[in-house]
Amino acid sequence: MTESSMGSFIHGLPKAELHLHIEGSLEPELMFELAKRNGIVVPYASVEEVRRAYEFTDLQSFLDVYYEGAKVLLEEQDFYDLAFAYIKKVSEQNVRHIEIFFDPQTHTDRGVSFETVIIGLRRALDDAQSQLDISSNLILCFLRHLSADAAMETLERAVPFRDWIAAVGLDSSELGHPPSKFERVFDKALSLNLKTVAHAGEEGPPDYIWQALDLLDVSRIDHGVRCLEDPDLVEVLRKKHLPLTVCPLSNVKLGVFKTLEDHNLKELLDAGLCATVNSDDPAYFGGYIEENFVAVQRALGLTRHHLYQLVRNSFEASFLSGEHQSELVRELDDYVGG
């Protein structure tokens, strides 16, 4: 298969994205537009200067820039515009279902209300369904560098919007903030019948993945690439068919792997794990989901079968109903068979 026919095969694949921070989809152009609309001064002279600042050495060096960028988001319409810009972009990449992380504390700590954030996002997701036939779920993430009490307070603010939220997650600075810190708040989320997920094994050790499984009862691990360091853990993940939401371009940008050729995605699949491909923070890491697929396919020489498996995994790992999952798998089978 030539490179361009593989590219068009990837483009046409119906896809799901399960690891996407909506604040990480803020493109510099929209950052400037919102800054102007809200009378906020951004510490960059131009779009080009913003893009030049996106040279990261590790997770923290990225998070510092990411939290700075989010300061332009103030009004409900800003959250709508942010989410709808992402939705429009991925609709052109044949994305059929999205599960979106949002970080309420990044906004509530600046005086923006929880309601403002979630109502703006929800309106965009409703329009995704009605205008573009893209289904979605929202995942509320707690910032793990903040306290467990602050996470609990955030969960309490979310209770009136329980029906708009599918799951809670854990993001931000991983090292030094193990899943165990959030056991109580995740217990409370589980008692509200929310699913749970957690970033673990991106920079942190396999033990953080064990903790996410044993203490937070997660349905998926976000990243999880360091699991291969622990064969017992791989065996448990495989047996439970517990999905990993892998983000190849992010991992290279943040130095988890030196190059894409060094990425362990193929080993994860070969080990029988339910790995998926996602973009994480596409505005900051140089690509949306399709660009992630294209780049990792080329770097690792993935076959059409690998790509089929990755997409199928993402439908099966989603929080969609069984019926909707089966419809999407059928769509995929029609695509590859046709």
Q: Least separation, in Å, of the C-beta of 95 and ligand HPA? A: 19
Contact partner at residue 172 from Zn ion, ligand HPA, none, CB < 5 to 8 Å by partner kind: ligand HPA
Out of 23, 27, 202, 203, pick the active-site residue: 202
How many other β-carbons are positioned within 10 Å of the β-carbon of residue 137?
18
Total residues interacting with ligand HPA, rule: CB under 6 A: 10
Distance CA 233, CA 293 (A): 26
Residue 268-297 contact track with Zn ion, rule CB under 5 A, x = bound: ------------x-----------------
Distance CA 216, CA 219 (A): 9
Q: Least separation, in Å, of the C-beta of 85 and Zn ion? A: 19
The verdict on 174 binding Zn ion (CB under 5 A) reads no
Residue 108-147 contact track with ligand HPA, rule CB under 6 A, x = bound: ----------------------------------------
CB 94 within 8 A of CB 134: no
Residue closest to ligand HPA, measured at CB: 171
What are the structure tokens assigned to 297, written together? 């396919």
The DSSP secondary-structure symbol of 45 reads S
What are the structure tokens assigned to 204, written together? 């942190």
Distance CA 333, CA 338 (A): 8
Among 25, 93, 136, 172, binds ligand HPA (CB under 6 A): 172
The verdict on 202 binding ligand HPA (CB under 6 A) reads yes
**According to CB under 6 A, which residues from 22 to 61 bind ligand HPA?**
24, 59
**According to CB under 6 A, which residues from 306 to 335 bind ligand HPA?**
none
The verdict on 181 binding ligand HPA (CB under 6 A) reads no
Angle between helices 304-317 and 289-300 (to 10 degrees): 140
Contact partner at residue 203 from ligand HPA, Zn ion, none, CB < 5 to 8 Å by partner kind: none
Q: Which is nearer to Zn ion, 76 or 264 (CB)?
A: 264
CB 88 within 8 A of CB 125: no
Is residue 202 part of the annotated active site? The answer reads yes
CB 182 within 8 A of CB 144: yes
Contact partner at residue 76 from ligand HPA, Zn ion, none, CB < 5 to 8 Å by partner kind: none
The DSSP secondary-structure symbol of 278 reads -
CB 289 within 8 A of CB 91: no
Taking the mean position of all CA atoms in its chain, how far away is CA 150? 22
As annotated, the active-site residues are 202
Binding site for Zn ion (CB under 5 A): 280
